[in-house]
Amino acid sequence: MNIFVSIALFIAGLVLVIYFAEKLVKGAVGTAVGFGISAFLISVIFIGFDPENLAVGTVGSAEGAAGIALGSVVGAAMVAMALAFGITALIAPMKFEQAPKRILAVPVLAVLLFWILALDGALSRIDGGILLLGFMLSIVYLLWLSRRGLDIRAEGEVEETLEEAGKINKWKSFGLLILSLLAIVAGSEMLVRGAGTIIGELGISETVFGMTVLALLVSIEELARELPASLKGRAEISFGNVAGSILAFFLFNAGIIALVHPVAVAPQTLRFYLPFCFATLVIVSIFMLARKIPRWGGGILVLLYLGFAMVGYFV
């Protein structure tokens, strides 16, 4: 395929995925509201829901592009918790009223489970089922904690849709859900096919491209989710987005991706990307235990992301 055609295909696919991801969330939440699911349960179920990365990762898995599939998990997580969270802290240093250890442990355990299952060099369909079970158990655990005082709030498109609950037509929402789903799948197919030629022209591995370039382009909107909340003094929502994203990426998304097609895990991912991602999560958790992320802390997180993106190229 001609490189210019591939770039055009990649960009068109990216636009489709990003544009209809928001519509998909509105359609899914609107359908759930229309059929009588409570706003609180929706807030918990859709915590960290990210259809862009799920669609790209799933299509990447189906096409045998393991680097792209895993980049939508590990690389996207680094964008959320290092780059976006770090830039947010640089602009608006964050302070937290509380940081329950029981909450901080959940994302750490999610990444550990993913890592353990990947140690044999592949994520099988059985592994995918285990990850999805882990996600369901995490949701049950969050529901249990909520009954003991944990405040779980919706955010972003989910929050906006719930605020308009009285105006929602469930069948229109269902139609929007189906249309958005089809558009995102088509866009992801275009994006993955275009990426194949681009990777060859750039002379880099599929893993490096998926972990850095593609993950950044698809996940950069994480900054738009985290920064406004912090500027309004709602730092807990910014961290909630990070924690929810970790659960969604490493348990739900990875589970679906592996169920669609078993994914080979490159040695580069096991040697560098996964350990680096886990170490970054531990550092974020330490900041959370201190209940604040000052500007210098935000700077450290941004540097960690740059290290992830640049050092990985040479590993």
- Domain parsing of the chain, residue ranges: 3-314
DSSP label of 167: G
Q: Which pLDDT does position 29 carry in this prediction?
A: 78
Using alpha carbons only, give the angle 211, 217, 222 rounded to the nearest 5 degrees: 95
**CB 47 within 8 Å of CB 247:** yes
Please tell me the distance from the alpha carbon of residue 230 to that of residue 232, in angstroms, as a whole number: 5
Q: What residues have CB less than 8 Å from 147, skipping those under 6 apart?
A: none
- pLDDT value for 123: 96
* Selection from 87, 80, 75 nearest residue 300 by Cα: 87
Structure tokens at 114: 């993913």
Query: pLDDT tens across 11-59, in order?
Result: 898 888 888 887 877 787 778 777 776 665 666 666 667 788 888 999 9
Distance CA 128, CA 296 (A): 38
Cβ atoms 167, 39 nearer than 8 A? no
Beta strands in 173-268 (DSSP E): 263-264
Distance, in Å, from the CA atom of 51 to the CA atom of 181, rounded to the nearest integer, reads: 9
Those residues with Cβ within 8 angstroms of residue 33's Cβ, 6 or more apart along the chain or in another chain: 39, 42, 161, 162, 165, 168, 170, 173
**3-314, what's its fold?**
A middle domain of Talin 1 (1.20.1420)
pLDDT per residue as tens, the chain (315 positions): 677 788 888 889 888 888 888 787 778 777 877 777 666 566 666 666 778 888 899 999 988 889 999 999 999 999 988 998 898 888 888 887 766 677 788 899 999 999 999 999 999 999 999 999 999 998 888 778 777 666 555 555 566 666 665 566 777 888 888 898 899 889 889 888 888 888 877 778 889 999 998 888 888 776 666 566 666 666 566 566 677 888 889 999 999 999 999 999 999 999 999 999 999 999 998 988 887 888 999 999 999 999 999 887 776
Per-residue confidence (pLDDT) for residue 169, from 0 to 100:
75
pTM of structure? 0.87
**The pLDDT value given to residue 111:** 96
The residue among 214, 280, 196 whose CA lies nearest residue 71 is 214
3 state DSSP class of 113 = helix
Sort strands 292-293 and 122-123 into parallel, antiparallel or unpaired: unpaired
pLDDT of residue 164: 64
- Could you tell me the CA-to-CA distances from 198 to 133, 192, 213 in Å, in that order? 36, 10, 11
**288 and 104 in contact (C-beta within 8 Å)?**
yes
As a whole number of angstroms, the distance between CA 174 and CA 133 comes to 26
Between CA 9 and CA 19, with CA 14 as vertex, the angle to 5 degrees is 130
174, exposed or middle or buried, with CB in 10 Å at 0-12, 13-18, 19+?
middle
Query: CA 195: distance to chain centroid?
Result: 20
Across-strand partners of 123? 263
